[in-house]
Copies of this chain bind each other. A is one copy, B any other.
Amino acid sequence: MKVEKPKGKLGILMPGMGAVATTTIAGVFAVNKGISLPIGSLTQMGRMRIGKRTENKQPFIKDVIGLQSIKNVVFGGWDVFDDNVYESAMHAKVLDETLLKKLKPQLEQIKPMKAVFDHEYVKRLDGKHIKKGKTKMELANALMKDIEKFKKDNDCDRLVMVWCGSTEIYIKESEVHQSLASLEKGMEENHKDIPPSMIYAYAAIKMGIPYANGAPNLSCDVPAMVELAKKTGTPIAGKDFKTGQTLMKTVIAPGLKARAIGIEGWFSTNILGNRDGEVLDDPDNFKSKEVSKLGVLEDILEPHLHPELYGNLYHKVRINYYPPRGDNKEGWDNIDIRGWLNYPMQIKVDFLCRDSILAAPLVLDLAIFLDLAKRSGMSGIQEWLSFYLKSPQAPKGVHPMHDIFKQLNKLENTIRYLAGEELITNLGLDYEA
Bound CA–CA A267/B424 (angstroms): 33
Interface size class of A (residues with CB under 8 A): 35 or more
Contacts of A361 in B (CB 8 A): 259-260, 339-340
Whether, in the assembled complex, A36 has its beta carbon less than 8 Å from a beta carbon of chain B, the answer is: yes
> Would you call A343 and B352 a contact (CB within 8 A)?
no
> Would you call B322 and A314 a contact (CB within 8 A)?
yes
Whether, in the assembled complex, A287 has its beta carbon less than 8 Å from a beta carbon of chain B, the answer is: no
Say whether, besides A46-B260, A427-B423, A343 and B354 are in contact (CB < 8 Å). Answer: yes
Interface string of A141-165 (1 = CB under 8 A from B): 0000000000000000000000000
Shortest CB distance A34–B (Å): 12
Q: Which chain A residues (278-333) contact chain B, with CB distance < 8 Å?
A: 302, 305-306, 308-309, 314, 316, 318, 320, 322-325, 330, 332
Bound CA–CA A42/B259 (angstroms): 7
Bound CA–CA A343/B93 (angstroms): 13
Shortest CB distance A402–B (Å): 13
Nearest to A332 among chain B residues (CB) is: B332
Chain A interface mostly helix, strand, loop or mixed?
A: mixed
> Would you call A265 and B349 a contact (CB within 8 A)?
no
Bound CA–CA A45/B310 (angstroms): 12
Whether, in the assembled complex, A383 has its beta carbon less than 8 Å from a beta carbon of chain B, the answer is: yes
Count chain B CB atoms within 10 A of each CB in A302, A341, A428 and give the residue with the most. A341
Say whether, besides A320-B316, A414-B427, A251 and B252 are in contact (CB < 8 Å). Answer: yes
> Would you call A305 and B40 a contact (CB within 8 A)?
no
> Would you call A341 and B255 a contact (CB within 8 A)?
no
> Would you call A408 and B258 a contact (CB within 8 A)?
yes
Bound CA–CA A220/B52 (angstroms): 26
Bound CA–CA A414/B271 (angstroms): 42
